[in-house]
Amino acid sequence: MNITHFFASSVGKKAIMSLTGAMLGLFLLTHLAGNISMFFGRESFIAYAEHLHSLGSLIHLFEFGLLIVFILHVYYALMLFFENRKARPVRYAVDRSSGGSTYASKTMPYTGAFIFVFIFVHLMNFHFTDHSISIADIVRNNLQNPLLSFYYVASVFALGMHTSHGFWSLFQTMGINHPRYDNFLQQGAIVISVIGAAIYSSFPAFTYLFKSFLL
Amino acid sequence: MSIINLHLKIWRQENSKAQGRFVSYESGPVSTDMSFLEMIDVLNERLTLDGQEPVAFDHDCREGICGMCGAVVNGHAHGHKNATTLCQLHMRHFSDGDTIVIEPFRARAFKVVKDLVVDRSAFDTLIASGGYVSVNTGGAQDGNAIPISQKIADQALDASACIGCGACVASCPNASAMLFVGAKISQLALLPQGQPERAKRALDMLNTMDLLGFGNCSNERECEAACPKNISIRHIARLNREYIKAAFLSD
């Protein structure tokens, strides 16, 4: 079978969702690990940021790769979403869960859309902004705003919901499911998402609550 | 045994082209020992005597093994009881005065023929596209000539429990047939007799599923929860594996 045909099939499209989702997930974990340097004080956070920028073209290459992965994830998500809606033209009058789906799994397209908007806001706040001041001050200027700080916490919550289903789902899609470890993967996805979201939301929360944070 | 009275809201649709609508009926006295289909039988007798069109619904064995019956009852395919076909759902699971909404299975690939009857021939098309083994020659050989471990045989039998009722499609938020196709692919991929056509089967059945207008699996596990035979989504994972392997590695 021709490879383009594979990526046009339902399993192929989902394999793309799964693989790009895994890459975005790995990026999230790396981003999280880097941001933890905020808790080691202003100097270490700035040092971390400068260290990243000193990578030069390597970092641009990585950014470009990430953009491609992100576009693929969103493009295929939209395609699958509309195909899936079309597969049931007449909806049920009474639609109840039989017990399989979770709140997170049901809301994947919506949490995804929420995250999509957040990424634009986040990039406008931190990437396409005046870099003549230090990154620590950019964080403080943005996240001491209560509305923006709350929006960041809410977005991180949506992200945690999204990955709590996604981190398990991507294994299932790639055919990795075994009675011995499937439960571990399902619970693990939730645990990682809860811990990740808790740490991520601590950055806007700390910046807003403690006025001397990163000073 | 006790007697209950129910308010029924049943989907009535003249034919596949007609516009359907819900019609309310009073069940009259229903014995709690009746099955769900017997409850509709009693209603139909009354409708017939009153000179009205009885409610069309699919059924055959009425012992939960043929896969012919099925409707969505209060939002659940085959009703709310776990691992039960509609014919095996007893009225003792309902209370006096309940309102029960009965709808046909909904999917683009399952057209409504009349009332609660849907055309599930898309499943036959799927089976014809690869859900079989070809044994083209020779007489029947001894049953023990092909050794197979008990563990594998058990897994294949678990997959073969699928009765093809379509509840997985009906309950899937995306109307996907992955659990049905997964069960068939699994059953034959596990058994020695399924090996010669293994890769071709995975490719053909899944491509046919896509063509028939079923949705894509989003791992919501609703099918597994609704399946009257408790088919596990582990078989969907095996289908994914079989398809990916066949797409990249088969000749």
Cβ atoms A165, A105 nearer than 8 A: yes
| pLDDT for the residue B81 | 96
Mean pLDDT in chain A?
95
- Chain A residues near residue B210 by CB distance under 8 angstroms: 9-10
Contacts of residues B17-25 at CB distance under 8 Å and 24 or more positions apart, as own/partner, are: B20/B112, B22/A93, B22/B101
Cβ atoms A184, A25 nearer than 8 A: no
- Chain B residues near residue A100 by CB distance under 8 angstroms: 171, 220-226
Choose the mutation target among A14, A92, A168, A170 for the interface with B, i.e. most B CBs under 10 Å.
A92
Q: Which residue has the higher pLDDT, B157 or A3?
A: B157
- Chain A residues near residue B72 by CB distance under 8 angstroms: 92, 94
For the cut 80, the answer to whether the pLDDT of residue B251 exceeds it is no
For the cut 70, the answer to whether the pLDDT of residue B154 exceeds it is yes
| pLDDT for the residue A142 | 94
Token output for A65: 């790769």
Q: Which residue of B has its CA nearest to A17?
A: B218
Mean pLDDT in chain B?
96
- Chain B residues near residue A94 by CB distance under 8 angstroms: 72, 74-75, 101, 103
| Model pLDDT for residues A31-68, shown as the tens digit of each residue | 999 999 999 999 999 999 999 999 989 999 999 999 99
Determine if the pTM surpasses 0.90: yes
| pLDDT for the residue A1 | 66
| Model pLDDT for residues A111-166, shown as the tens digit of each residue | 999 999 999 999 999 999 998 999 999 999 999 999 999 999 999 999 999 999 99
Choose the mutation target among B240, B242, B250, B251 for the interface with A, i.e. most A CBs under 10 Å.
B240
Inter-chain residue contact A84 with B175, CB threshold 8 Å: yes
Spatial separation of the C-alpha atoms in residues B236 and B180, rounded to whole Å? 9
Arithmetic mean of pLDDT, B149-170:
97
Q: Which residues contact B76 (CB under 8 A, 6 or more apart)?
A: A96, A98, B171, B226
Arithmetic mean of pLDDT, B61-76:
96
In this prediction, residue B1 has a pLDDT band, given cuts at 50, 70 and 90, of: confident
| pLDDT for the residue B24 | 98
Arithmetic mean of pLDDT, B34-43:
97
Q: Which residue has the higher pLDDT, B142 or B244?
A: B244
Spatial separation of the C-alpha atoms in residues B27 and B38, rounded to whole Å? 11
| Model pLDDT for residues B166-191, shown as the tens digit of each residue | 999 999 999 999 999 999 999 999 99
For the cut 80, the answer to whether the pLDDT of residue B239 exceeds it is yes
Backbone φ and ψ for B35, nearest 5 degrees, come out as: -85, 170
For the cut 80, the answer to whether the pLDDT of residue A99 exceeds it is yes
Token output for A192: 């990682």
How near does any CA of chain A get to the CA of B247, in Å?
A: 6
**In whole angstroms, what separates CA A135 from the centre of its chain?**
21
| pLDDT for the residue B98 | 97
Arithmetic mean of pLDDT, B42-66:
97
* Number of residues that this document lists for chain A: 215
Positive or negative, the CA dihedral A132, A136, A140, A143 is: positive
